Structure 1
Amino acid sequence: MRVSLKDVAERAGVSIKTVSNVVNNYQHITPAMRARVQHAIDELGYRPNLTARHLRKGRTGIIALALPELANPYYAELAGAVIDVAAEHDYTVLIDVTGGRRRQEAQVGQGFRARVTDGIILSPLELRPEDLRNRDDDAPLVLLGERGDGVPYDAVAIDNVAAARTAVRHLTGLGRRRVAFLGGRTDDTAHPAHLRLRGWREVLATQGVEAPDHLIAPTNGWDRADGAEAMTRLLDTDEPPDAVFAYNDLLAIGALRVLSQRGVRVPEDMAVMGFDDIAESRFGAITLTTIAPDKRAIARLAIESILTRLQDPDRGPDSLRRGELRPEYRLMERESTLGRG
């Protein structure tokens, strides 16, 4: 039989209200009383009925997380962080995959009309501001990534331009003069690749380093094979680069494979920099220097934004400045730029 609050109260010799206060982490409980109730909870194996708790508040206890894909380790690691943070607030995460397609992203952004979720976290690639106009779902929406102006919803994103500048300054600081950008975009859709390319251009311009177009290698996708194909093209130019800054770690890992096959020494002949700090970047034959976004902070800020909206439904969508939703990032220096030491 399911253990109830009454069972715990009887075992601890306290009131049901006291047990409820402990379960809900009410602050004004003495340590001795908290320990006494917790001992009874552990003995009986009591588990709170989270469904009933959420229903009493008129909520479902579910937050939707929509990502472009899960095969990309960055998104998988981010999903894990969101699930962990949501669990701290007694929420379950429902994961949806959009494939990075505009139509699917717009459908998620418009909301789940059956109201199965209390909030939506959406990481879009192709979404445009007009796709969220006339949104009739009142569930809080949080976007992951820089979306530009005209989107009146909280957005959680590292400063991609600043992070790219950090990456390229690291490469030029090592004496690299022909720094290529791997993973450029040719369309005008708002995308982090454009912002990272901008940071690349800004650093090279301020340091008097040439940034010719032939050092920009567009890719059709963001996986290892795309990085390998683009790196092959760069090596086959008349003046190959001596360093590569890749849009993400997967592209960089694909580039490392081609460099190994072609006998190009890393980092002696070619320094390689990634972005995302996925687990694979730390365990390759050559560990990858990369920009590490704080995935835990991204998850925390997104969940906190939703919970804030739920607690104060009348709060306007612009009441949180985007500058307050900026997680940190770090430059992780490894063998692909520094060597084995």
Structure 2
Amino acid sequence: MNKKVTTYDISNELGISRNTVSKALNNHASISEETKKKVFEQAIAMGYKKMVPGTGERTAISQSTKCIAYLTRIDRSTNGYWMNLMRGVEDVLRGSGYDMKMSFIKDEDIISLTVPPMLNSTIDGFVVVGMLNKAYTEKLLAHSLPKVFIDLNAELPITDLKADLVLMESEESVYRITRHLIESGHREIGFIGDISSRSFRERWIGYSRALHEANIPQNPSYCITSTHSISYQSFEGIADTLGALEQLPTALVCGNDLMALHAIRFVKEKGLRVPQDIAISGFDQMKETELLDISLTTVANNEFQLGLRAAEELLYRIQRPNRAFEVIHLSTKVIFGESTHTTRP
């Protein structure tokens, strides 16, 4: 049996992003006519199943009676983590006879509380990837279609949640890392992460619980948690905030590896050493951390499995709409690296 052609295969053949391919196939206005033509022709040549050969200048995308929408705010298609997660969703849907349509939620949609038009078409359910603000999330939650969220705004209680939620285990993993730092003699331990996200909030709780059990007061000046103070994903944002501190902590627990990489760069540019002067940990086991000259203490998870589980849960919800909603945590593994291997006097 021939292998099914996907948008990933088309993007590889053309040397363009998968997002560009998806937008071209959906006739998105932001894609040039030349690129659309190239993508359509390549899709037909490769036997992409959604393409129906026509006699005009352009072919048409067939309408499937079994289709799932994949909603996300930011174009993450070129990021390895989010690409693997999306592949997991597609893998399950493909094996179950469903097509997947992607929709990017724009800032103006969030301001106007406008849901993607495809949710009002022949869609059987949808997956929401990444954290959105409370008001827009409530708008999506109010939609009658079956839905699964991967992460959620932390302001929304999970009690009486009218949707399924899939997350990586976070609290216990970060608790173990923080306990490790405490047992190594650290007492001035900071945290970096936007705790308006439920996954980051759970990491914050694990960090806070470890300090509480060790009777170590939490110092707010060491914690970068405000939803408005910095851009957590940029070096400049984290560097500016850390640089404004009167005194740096002896250890930093970061909400993900990207933040940890920014913190390590800042520390080194200040002429300090990791872990001798400041111990730093992350979360996600990003491949980019392999470029460091030391191994990073982090938490290994499997984003492909996260996508698989979210898609499986959505299909389960479509088939059993009246069953109790679920909050699912996938297991993770703490990886202790050199970045926290230090003993304080």
Q: TM-score, normalised by structure 1?
A: 0.69
The one of 84, 96, 120 aligned to 1:89: 96
State the distance in 1 between where 2:253 and 2:49 align: 49
Equivalents in 1 of 2:286, 2:64: separation in Å? 34
Distance 1:112 1:249, change over 3 A: same
RMSD of aligned alpha carbons: 3.3
* 1:221-240 superposed matches below 5 A: 221-225=231-235, 226-234=237-245, 237-238=246-247, 240=248
Over alpha carbons, which structure has the higher Rg? 1
1:144 maps to what in 2? 150
- 2:339 maps to 1:336: yes
Correspondence 1:284 to 2:292: yes
1:183 has 2:189 as partner: no
CA distance in 2, matches of 1:288, 1:105: 42
1:303 matched to 2:311: yes
Give the corresponding residue for 2:72.
67
2:220 paired residue number: 213
**Residue equivalent to 1:173:** 183
Show structure 2 runs of 5+ residues with no match.
3-46, 53-62
Following TM superposition, where does structure 1 have runs of at least 4 consecutive aligned residues deviating by more than 4 angstroms? 47-52, 99-102, 104-111
Cα distance in 2 for residues equivalent to 1:280 and 1:100: 29
- Residue 126 of structure 1 and its aligned partner are, at CA, apart by 1.3
Whose relative contact order is higher, 1 or 2, with alpha carbons under 8 Å and at least 6 apart? 2
Give the letter aligned to residue 163 of structure 1.
S
**Do the aligned partners of residues 107 and 151 (structure 1) sit closer, same or farther apart at CA in structure 2, a change above 3 Å counting?**
farther
Match of 1:118 among 114, 124, 136: 124
- Give the Cα separation in 2 of the matches to 1:252 and 1:95: 30
Q: How many residues align?
A: 275
Match of 1:79? 86
Change (3 A) 1:334 1:102: farther
Q: Which residue of 2 aligns with 1:161?
A: 171
State the shift of 1:170 in Å: 2.8
Contact 2:294/2:338, CA 8 A, preserved across alignment: yes
1:102 Cα offset (Å): 7.7
SS of 2:191 mapped into structure 1: strand
- TM-score for the superposition, normalised by structure 2: 0.68
CA offsets, 1:229-285, max 9 Å, x none?
A: 333234xx23x2111011221111111111111111111111111122222123333
After TM superposition, give the deviation of residue 217 of structure 1 in Å: 1.9
Distance in 2, Cα, partners of 1:105 & 1:86: 31
Which residue does the alignment assign to 1:253? 261
Q: Displacement of 1:190 after TM fit?
A: 5.7
Structure 1: 5+ residue stretches without partners: 3-46, 53-57
